[in-house]
């Protein structure tokens, strides 16, 4: 049975209105976080739920620290490892995306990503862990929002405080204490490079801290760090 044309149009208008309201809700959060720190993120809440399914008493390790209280070594290490053009691009590194696409095409599976720090933050703050075309489209929209209303320093400050660094470990301060027993402001260059090398697969490296190839990754990041420009 076909829907009457008027009912179809009304349904489409309602759907469009809901989509617009959702985007406005996202944008309101982004604007709020220009001055106020996010208490959590969608990814953190997802991980906590997974952990508490196994252990109801599980808690996340995370402590917000201001940008100035985080070692410049860690800032340079993350830029060098994750997004060398962070201070220059407007949310997307098209050359990096093209390189990742060619590498994945050659391997026949996803082995590399071209996501910038801004894109990673957009995913962590709002989106589920499911990979769908809708999620990717929403990631693009949120990335544009972040870049439109926040400066690079603020984007990076939030990223440094919400990024995952192990099973239940989030943010630079918790990671520094978890792995090295020091504050985020006290990280050495080598410790910072080690943390940056963990970012692509933090829960694995939390369990396998002497994983094969880690030392080589750390050395590459250390060599790139002097050229890394931070906001």
DSSP letter for each residue of the chain? -PPPHHHHHHHHHHHHHHHHHHHHHHHHHHHHTTTS--S--HHHHHHHHHHHHH-TT---B-----GGGS-HHHHHHHHHHH-TTTTTSSS--HHHHHHHHHHHHHHTS-------HHHHHHHHHH--S---HHHHHHHHHHHHHHHHHS-HHHHHHHHHHH-EEETTEESHHHHHHHHHSS-GGG--HHHHHHHHHHTTSHHHHHH-TT-TTHHHHHHHHHHHGGG----
Does residue 1 form part of some domain? yes
CB-based burial, 209-218: b 16+ in 10 Å, e otherwise: eeeeeeeebb
Residue 201 CB neighbour total at 10 angstroms? 12
Helices 152-162 & 117-126 angle (0-180, nearest 10)? 50
Does residue 181 form part of some domain? yes
71 and 178 share one domain: yes
Q: How confident is the model at residue 105, as a pLDDT? A: 61
Q: How confident is the model at residue 106, as a pLDDT? A: 59
* pLDDT band for position 127 (cuts 50, 70, 90): confident
213 and 127 share one domain: yes
Q: How confident is the model at residue 52, as a pLDDT? A: 96
Does residue 117 form part of some domain? yes
Predicted model pTM: 0.89
Angstrom distance (rounded) from CA 23 to CA 76: 33
Residue 228 CB neighbour total at 10 angstroms? 21
15 and 47 share one domain: no
171 and 91 share one domain: yes
Domain encompassing residue 111: 43-54+66-227
Residue 140 CB neighbour total at 10 angstroms? 13
User: pLDDT of 156-173, one tens digit each?
Assistant: 999 999 999 999 999 999
Does residue 142 form part of some domain? yes
124 and 21 share one domain: no
168 and 96 share one domain: yes
User: pLDDT of 87-102, one tens digit each?
Assistant: 999 988 878 677 765 6
Split into its structural domains, the chain has a count of 2
**In whole numbers, what is the pLDDT of the chain averaged over residues?**
90
8 and 75 share one domain: no
């Amino acid at each position: 049975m076909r829907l009457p044309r008027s009912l179809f149009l009304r349904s489409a208008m309602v759907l469009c209105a809901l989509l617009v309201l959702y985007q406005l809700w996202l944008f309101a959060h982004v604007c709020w976080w220009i001055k106020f720190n996010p208490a959590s993120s969608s990814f953190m809440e997802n991980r906590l739920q997974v952990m508490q399914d196994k252990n109801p008493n599980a808690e996340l390790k995370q402590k917000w620290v201001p940008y100035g209280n985080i070692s410049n070594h860690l800032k340079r290490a993350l830029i060098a490892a994750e997004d060398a053009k962070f201070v220059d691009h407007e949310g997307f590194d098209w050359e990096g995306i093209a390189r990742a696409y060619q590498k994945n095409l050659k391997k026949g599976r996803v082995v590399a990503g071209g996501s910038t720090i801004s894109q990673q933050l957009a995913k962590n703050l709002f989106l589920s862990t499911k990979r769908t075309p809708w999620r990717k489209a929403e990631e693009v929209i949120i990335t544009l929002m972040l870049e439109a209303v926040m400066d690079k320093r603020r984007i990076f400050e939030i990223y440094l405080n919400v990024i995952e660094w192990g099973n239940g470990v989030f943010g630079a301060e918790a990671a520094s204490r978890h792995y090295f027993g020091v504050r985020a402001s006290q990280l050495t260059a080598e410790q910072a490079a080690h943390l940056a090398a963990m970012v692509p697969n933090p829960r694995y490296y939390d369990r396998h801290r002497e994983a094969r190839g880690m030392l080589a990754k750390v050395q590459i990041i250390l060599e790139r760090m002097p050229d890394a420009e931070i906001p």
